[in-house]
Structure 1
Amino acid sequence: MSSGLTERRQTILKLVIQEFVETAQPVASETLVRKYRLNVSPATVRNELAALEELGYLMHLHTSAGRVPTDIGYRFFVENLMDRTTLSLPEQRMIRHQFYQVRGELDQWIQLAGSVLARTAQNASVVTPLRSADRLRFRQVELVAIHDTMALAVLVFHGGVVKQQTLALDAVRSPDDLRRCAARISSVLADLELSDVEDLLTRDQQQEGSEFGDFERQVLDLVARAMDAFEAQAQEQIYSDGLIEMLSQPEFIPALAREDAERAVERMRRALDILKSGRGLGSLIPQALASDGVQVIIGGENSADEMREYSVILARYGVERAVTGVLGVIGPTRMAYPRSISSVRYISSLMSDLLAELYQADQRSPES
């Protein structure tokens, strides 16, 4: 598709996006010629705008004569046209000073990262807590009788994670029965991750005769469900900030027309739901954790329907192969991408540097 983008069309596309991000108004040819002093006539620019629309980079909004960027237009802009900027040195010094004031306080660093991102990008921010780079691995299980029809399963995982689950008994089980079952399951599942446990259960179900008794299989299912719930909860923990900044964007300010007001209110409701529940963001977090650099997901590139009108910019932070998290910003697709990307890049780099210093200091400290 980019084969139809001449140098002049690329210039006009860049100007349209910059103007639309700045004004939130459809961009007309006369505006471009007048404001940017183009050496071509408005008629020529109109022809180029029509060509960009036909190629899928621009579109009409309602019946306006002006054009606005499409998701494809924004994507081409981010990858090929936007100016690569960095935060100014005074901004960097001020931000770094704020972090050093709460040096060593991990919870405060996470909150501060969200606050700084929201302020610098003028949109909502999202930050996930640090989590171990290692996947949750099973260690052992203990089964303790509560009464004749109920037992307590104490699940122990590597890294000191302990979960307790009640287990309904299909029959009266003696303490020796519970100990033998727990010992067998602990032996079979030792050091396994969730995917390994699920594979074991699938293979056992598919073979002609199960190698586990009914009660053992009940405990295996319990372990798999507990591990799945723990990993899902870890992905869903998202700290957010900048709701006021996000809702101050023109997309959330109702116009006079009733349909525009209803659309703005619906956008506001969706934004609140996304930031409160993390819905729509959960699938993006594992991708960001597994990727290097800054990840930009624009509008319809999101798989979740509720995210189709938003762009998300994410980056991993932390200490590689030790502890990592994800931070970024979310806002309407009409976003100041250079500013947002540079903000996410700088804060993720700063957080990683600070955590590396803290981690190295912990490694050097003598064991108590």
Structure 2
Amino acid sequence: MAATLTERRLFILKLVVQEFIETATPIASDTLVRKFGLGFSSATVRNDMAALEEIGYLTHLHTSAGRVPTDAGYRFFVENLMDRTSLSMAEQRMIRHQFYQVRGELDQWIQLAGAVLARTAQNASLVTPPRAEQLRFKNLELISIHDTMVLAVLVFHGGIVKQQTFSVDTARAAEELRRSAGRISDQLLDLTMSQVEQLIAQDAQRPTPTFGEFDRGVIDLVIHAMQTFEEQAREQIHSDGLLEMLSQPEFIPSLARDDAERAVERLRRVLEILKSGRGLGQLIPQALASNGVQVIIGGEHGEDEMREYSVVLARYGVGGTVTGVLGVIGPTRMSYPRSISTVRYISSLMSNLLGNLYAGDTRPPFEGE
């Protein structure tokens, strides 16, 4: 008969997760009974732990008698058992004061957000610069620079300008290039990359297409430029807190050789993640498209290199104008209440800062508090 989740088992699961987060050591039944003065025996707790293991929320490490949470156990804890907390008022005032000292420098806000996230959550942080929610086409110029060489000047909303040269089979007169650029600009105005692709697909089905072969080649250039920009934007990740993360027990090897090798491998992997953003890039678009705080735990990433890590992310920015993503990354044994409350607060603060900046007021909010 399958195990069921009783109130007592839920309580024991919560205690196991909290204790493992705090101690980083497998939790034994007698430890819980002794520390929390439970009104039932160690044998009862062991039975409930076994039931929780059968459900898939706890597991053994090696031959240890203690249990540790699984990814599913952490997920259930975050969604159903975790105490919702906020940063203390003293911490909030201290953080606001730090941002007030920086004034209206966006680059410094990003660096400070990364440092505060890492220090407060005691794990590594990541912050992407704010950018237009979706790149939108604005204007195009085509300039002949040689008989068979054309310069395309691509202008997108947000003041983004890209230049690209391309060759043509036959020379094009300046007036012909001007008409083509005007025709493309009129049709593509304010469109996102996906909308441009949809427009081209629909135009190709018409009995008399709006765009000829030359126009379609230029529009392919536009799509490629937008795609490249989107990919580069996802890779612009500012990270901080490597020392905070490496102070976690998972990265401190014991004298046992196999444990030391695992710690070194974890170190190598986290350096790669923070340096290249590998394993994080696909999470950024998801966070940009979501509301609230997103928590991705261990194997939920779908990436082997991320299976031992959890990421807590939130979008920040000015809706309809610019947005970025910030968050923390650490071992699955992270303090989820602390990490979530920290990410939520810094996201809200950065959104207020950007709102003031785009409104023409460079003073950080809460200045008078």
TM-score normalised by the chain length of structure 1: 0.91
Which residue pairs with 1:50 in the alignment?
Answer: 50
The equivalences for 1:1-368 within 5 A come to 4-133=4-133, 135-204=134-203, 212-362=211-361
What displacement does 1:179 show?
Answer: 2.6
Change (3 A) 1:57 1:125: same
Residues of 2 paired with 1:272 and 1:299: CA distance? 17
Residues of 1 paired with 2:185 and 2:3: CA distance? 60
What displacement does 1:234 show?
Answer: 1.9
Residues 145-186 of structure 1, C-alpha deviations (whole Å, 9 max, x = no match): 232332211111223221001112233333333333323322
- Deviates most, 243-252 or 262-271: 262-271
Residues of 1 paired with 2:21 and 2:98: CA distance? 29
Equivalent position amino acid for 1:294 in 2: V
Residue aligned with 2:153, SS:
strand
Change (3 A) 1:361 1:171: closer
Residues of 1 paired with 2:64 and 2:208: CA distance? 69
- Judge conservation of contact 2:154–2:162 (CA < 8 Å) in 1: yes
- Deviates most, 30-39 or 352-361: 352-361
Residues of 2 paired with 1:148 and 1:249: CA distance? 63
What displacement does 1:206 show?
Answer: 5.9
What displacement does 1:204 show?
Answer: 4.6
What displacement does 1:112 show?
Answer: 0.7
What displacement does 1:235 show?
Answer: 2.4
Residues 182-210 of structure 1, C-alpha deviations (whole Å, 9 max, x = no match): 23322332222211111133335566886
Residues of 1 paired with 2:210 and 2:258: CA distance? 63
What displacement does 1:144 show?
Answer: 1.8
TM-score normalised by the chain length of structure 2: 0.91
- Judge conservation of contact 2:3–2:55 (CA < 8 Å) in 1: no
Residues of 2 paired with 1:207 and 1:83: CA distance? 59
Residues of 2 paired with 1:188 and 1:352: CA distance? 34
Q: Provide structure 1 residue ranges, at least 5 long, that are not aligned to the other structure.
A: 364-368
**CA-atom RMSD in angstroms:** 2.2
Change (3 A) 1:3 1:187: farther
Change (3 A) 1:236 1:3: farther
Residues 245-283 of structure 1, C-alpha deviations (whole Å, 9 max, x = no match): 112212122233333222222222221122122222222
Residues of 2 paired with 1:204 and 1:259: CA distance? 61
- Judge conservation of contact 2:59–2:69 (CA < 8 Å) in 1: yes
Residues of 1 paired with 2:64 and 2:170: CA distance? 73
Residue aligned with 1:21, SS:
helix
Residues 5-52 of structure 1, C-alpha deviations (whole Å, 9 max, x = no match): 111111111111111111111111122122222222221111111100
Residues of 1 paired with 2:279 and 2:46: CA distance? 38
Of all paired residues, the percent bearing the same amino acid is 73
Residues of 1 paired with 2:138 and 2:360: CA distance? 29
What displacement does 1:3 show?
Answer: 8.4
- Judge conservation of contact 2:3–2:51 (CA < 8 Å) in 1: no
Residue aligned with 1:40, SS:
coil
Residues 318-341 of structure 1, C-alpha deviations (whole Å, 9 max, x = no match): 222332222111111000111111
Residues 339-364 of structure 1, C-alpha deviations (whole Å, 9 max, x = no match): 1111111211222233333333449x
- Judge conservation of contact 1:170–1:215 (CA < 8 Å) in 2: no
- Deviates most, 294-303 or 259-268: 259-268
Residue aligned with 2:359, SS:
helix
Equivalent position amino acid for 1:8 in 2: R
Residue aligned with 1:4, SS:
coil
Change (3 A) 1:323 1:184: closer
Equivalent position amino acid for 1:356 in 2: G
- Judge conservation of contact 1:123–1:246 (CA < 8 Å) in 2: yes
